Structure 1
Amino acid sequence: MSILPSPADPADSRGVPTALPLVVRTVQIPATIAGSLVDLLPARGPREVTSWVRRGDGLVGWGRAAAFTAAGTHRFADASAWWAQVSEAAVVRDEVRLPGTGVVAFGSFSYAASSPSGATLVVPEVLVGRRGSTAWLTTVAAGAQLPPTPALAVQSPPEAPEDVRFADGSLSAARWEGVVARAVARIAAGELDKVVLARDLAADAAGPVDPRWLLRRLAERYETTWVFAVDGLVGATPELLVRRERGLVTSRVLAGTIRRSGNDEHDLALAASLARSSKDLEEHEYAVRSVADALAPHCSSMNVPDSPFVLHLANVMHLATDVTGVLRDGTTSLGLAASLHPSAAVCGTPTASADSLIDEVEGMDRGRYAGPVGWLDATGDGEWGIALRCAAYDAGDDARLRLFAGCGIVAGSDPEAEVAESDAKLVPMRDALSTL
């Protein structure tokens, strides 16, 4: 594990490095200044930009006042311990006092404990937030003095990616179809009920890809999703893993997908067929049950709807259920995300069997795809999504990215149809990298 700005700080009794104190100031600004939040981001590298935006509201930031990385089985616990130290030691002047004000960390976590991608928490030097008619500016520094307050303004449009070429990732579509067929056979043999299998796609551009280009395109085209960027991971997820806000816990479960046709009347018929599909309803039930079971120990009461609704996105439709509860034990939003990961929506049922099959047949390291991504503040409130519909920058080359998509596989799954579904889920990031 490591920490910025000082990796050599003394460690506490748990072996987690002690953070330098942060000085934090949050002031209210006119909501009109905020404009489109992603348009305020200055030109920075992909690891210097942070975002969590939906329908124009949310948070964007830039710079790194402090950061923490960890890997392995204890990455969630180590990150939580570091954040407790940082937030408790911070000297904060917060004139707004809303969730997302004061000191805030953005984070993303690897799907698998064995992945070298590990976990990252980042505290931006500058953060701009908006919630309805209220907007704010937070500045952060490690040490005794705050950095100068930046002049906020809409930035010049970023340069479009040049000559983007796509190629097979770890497996070709045909080979991945075979992997799906093997999984269906294992399910039919009674080894498990459901498994989520992912595939990747390689993208190479002629030069570095500006993350602001991706964020602007995603925010314009997929405003009902959470458009995120953390430490080189960029995407637009429709799935809220968990929100904790002033004692209320919410999780949006998505499982069961159908591609949109582009014809509104036909899409209504497709939505009706999705809502009646026994295969998709079965897949959805597994996912809802896994979320409800994980949240139950932390909640005094819960509401789990009996049936899902159909969520319409720009390119696909999903079966969706919003699970809510009243927090009883003070667990932070990050702690709740750790309890929920991995849900049946990204792993399968039973979890251990599905995870073992993923490791056996998927043929790639997911990295931080399908792991929690989001933010939390000093009170423990925050929002964490599942890193879906996303791309990860290559660690050493900002012109190279890996795109990811996954599908839930159950007994009734058709391998060819699952390839088509995964292609649909790759569309948001493929389109974001285009100039059209």
Structure 2
Amino acid sequence: MTSTPSAATPTSLGRLVARSIEVADPGPLLDLLPEDAPTAWLRRGEGIVGWGVAASVRTSGPERFDAAVDWWHQVSASAVVRDELAVPGSGLICLGSFAFADDPGDSVLIVPKVVVGRRGDRTWVTVIGDDEVSPPPDLVAQPEPRAPGEVVFADGSVGGTAWEAVVAQAVQRINAGELEKVVLARDLIASTEAPLDVRWPLRRLGSEYEMCWTFHVDGLFGATPELLVRRERGLVTSRVLAGTIRRTGDDERDLALAATLARSSKDLEEHEYAVRSVADSLAPHCTSMNVPESPFVLHLPNVMHLATDVAGVVPDTDSSTVLELAAALHPSAAVGGTPTDVAVAMISEIEGMDRGRYAGPVGWMDASGDGEFGIALRSAEYGPGPNGTGRVRLFAGCGIVAESDPESELAEAQAKFVPVRDALAGR
């Protein structure tokens, strides 16, 4: 299999064979995951989980999306697929996670050995291998994952006070006319008593944030509220979030705050930039589009967001895969800024950390190019720590515009750490 060595490093593989069969409902999908390379993409109990690695490719640099698409075209073109359901998520699929920045741009696509999916009242299992595949495994709930033990949090690359100064610098440069908006992020380091069993936070995120897309791909996990793009049988949709306010836990007070958010000129301005960037990026691929004039308020357990669902129709003459559409959208104003090139350059200059795959596209794609990619928000990367401990790096970002207040932005970032931070709790 040919590829550009600097851009893509594939596993060696022959022809893949994928077989999907309908099965009885096995219960919560996240409960099925073993420790063997678990992957997940779920919302409200529907979606896909997988384990094992039948094939994978690692890509990097500015061409990371193109290299991944080329590899997937080669894999899917040669594959044998037996799919008795023919529903989104059945058949041959891959899951992927892509870096925010071009340099170094480390990204990955993974084809699991086993995939279990649910859509509506239908559940299926797909077994993928390099020959005539084995019978599907027994689908039984796994034991409770190993708890992370004591968790100690510390500032990451930039402390809170220093980050407020970075925000103030960005506001100054916005008011000087350099740009309209920039999204600045910070990280938080969690040291866990034991190496992290990612299934522990995944189960909690899936339960507490069921309106979000709970995901895990190659060490990156989270529960994102933002769908970057879905492509399904010619229809393209994208959920845009920008403009945030923290919830108090008092329903009456939160309703008043939601009304305030819906009228906030600062947040409406930030949201307009994000919607415009998505609509402009999708327009070349669509024959018609629906862009609502006003956002709605999305209520999540920890925060509320201004949200807009953009939809479009992709003609048969446009063969763009969902990953190519995600690449066209990335980075949107919701995670980069406006103008995008100026904002991304400023992020590299003043943010003070490597985002890795935080705020990059994460999701899945099938052999026809349909699928879903979200933005890797409310997320974290994990790996081994010293002396048999674990290390988890949490991320949170805020849209900075001319009226932004550094102290308020820091409080918003702290609120966005809450989903993953709470999911790590417990012994």
Interval containing the TM-score (normalised by the shorter chain): over 0.9
Read off the aligned partner of 1:136 and give its amino acid letter. Answer: W
Alignment TM-score, normalising by the size of structure 2: 0.96
How far off its partner does 1:382 sit? 0.2
Counterpart for residue 3 of structure 1: none
Counterpart for residue 111 of structure 1: 100
| Partner of residue 413 from structure 1, selected from 388, 404, 408 | 404
Equivalent residues of 1:105, 1:121 under 8 A apart: yes
Counterpart for residue 330 of structure 2: 341
Counterpart for residue 131 of structure 1: 119
1:278-301 per-position Cα deviation (integer Å, ceiling 9, x unaligned): 000000000000000000000000
Counterpart for residue 376 of structure 2: 387
1:177-214 per-position Cα deviation (integer Å, ceiling 9, x unaligned): 11000000000100000000000000111111111101
Counterpart for residue 16 of structure 2: 22
**In structure 2, what is the Cα distance between the partners aligned to 1:395 and 1:76?**
28
How far off its partner does 1:19 sit? 4.7
**In structure 2, what is the Cα distance between the partners aligned to 1:127 and 1:43?**
14
How far off its partner does 1:394 sit? 3.0
1:93-118 per-position Cα deviation (integer Å, ceiling 9, x unaligned): 111111111110000000001035x1
Go from structure 1 to structure 2 and tell me whether the alpha carbon gap of 1:408 and 1:27 turns closer, same or farther (over 3 Å shift). Answer: same
1:303-323 per-position Cα deviation (integer Å, ceiling 9, x unaligned): 000000000000000000000
Runs of 5+ in structure 2 lacking a partner? Answer: none
Worse-matched range after superposition: 17-26 or 66-75: 17-26
SS in 1 for 2:104: coil
Counterpart for residue 241 of structure 2: 254
Go from structure 1 to structure 2 and tell me whether the alpha carbon gap of 1:12 and 1:164 turns closer, same or farther (over 3 Å shift). Answer: closer
1:153-197 per-position Cα deviation (integer Å, ceiling 9, x unaligned): 111111211111111100101110110000000001000000000
Counterpart for residue 321 of structure 1: 308
Q: Does 1:275 align with 2:250?
A: no
Q: Does 1:305 align with 2:292?
A: yes
SS in 1 for 2:95: strand
Worse-matched range after superposition: 9-18 or 206-215: 9-18
**In structure 1, what is the Cα distance between the partners aligned to 2:134 and 2:101?**
37
Aligned residues: 421
How far off its partner does 1:10 sit? 5.0
Alignment TM-score, normalising by the size of structure 1: 0.94
| Partner of residue 352 from structure 2, selected from 347, 351, 363 | 363
- 4+ aligned runs moved over 4 Å, structure 1: 9-19, 395-398
**In structure 2, what is the Cα distance between the partners aligned to 1:388 and 1:254?**
11
How far off its partner does 1:13 sit? 12
How far off its partner does 1:15 sit? 8.8
SS in 1 for 2:287: strand
Q: Does 1:208 align with 2:195?
A: yes
Runs of 5+ in structure 1 lacking a partner? Answer: 1-8
SS in 2 for 1:204: strand
Counterpart for residue 178 of structure 1: 165
**In structure 1, what is the Cα distance between the partners aligned to 2:179 and 2:339?**
6
Worse-matched range after superposition: 144-153 or 241-250: 144-153
Read off the aligned partner of 2:415 and give its amino acid letter. Answer: A
Go from structure 1 to structure 2 and tell me whether the alpha carbon gap of 1:382 and 1:10 turns closer, same or farther (over 3 Å shift). Answer: closer
Equivalent residues of 1:19, 1:82 under 8 A apart: no
Equivalent residues of 1:71, 1:115 under 8 A apart: yes
Equivalent residues of 1:224, 1:313 under 8 A apart: yes
Counterpart for residue 251 of structure 2: 264
1:241-294 per-position Cα deviation (integer Å, ceiling 9, x unaligned): 000000000000000000001000000000000000000000000000000000
Read off the aligned partner of 2:274 and give its amino acid letter. Answer: A
Equivalent residues of 2:382, 2:392 under 8 A apart: yes
**In structure 1, what is the Cα distance between the partners aligned to 2:255 and 2:158?**
34
Worse-matched range after superposition: 217-226 or 147-156: 147-156
1:8-44 per-position Cα deviation (integer Å, ceiling 9, x unaligned): x5559999668521111100011x22x1110111133
**In structure 2, what is the Cα distance between the partners aligned to 1:244 and 1:163?**
42
Read off the aligned partner of 2:374 and give its amino acid letter. Answer: G
Counterpart for residue 6 of structure 1: none
Q: Does 1:152 align with 2:139?
A: yes
Read off the aligned partner of 1:243 and give its amino acid letter. Answer: R
SS in 1 for 2:409: helix
Q: Does 1:289 align with 2:283?
A: no
Counterpart for residue 78 of structure 2: 89
Read off the aligned partner of 1:400 and give its amino acid letter. Answer: R
**In structure 1, what is the Cα distance between the partners aligned to 2:125 and 2:303?**
35
Go from structure 1 to structure 2 and tell me whether the alpha carbon gap of 1:13 and 1:153 turns closer, same or farther (over 3 Å shift). Answer: closer
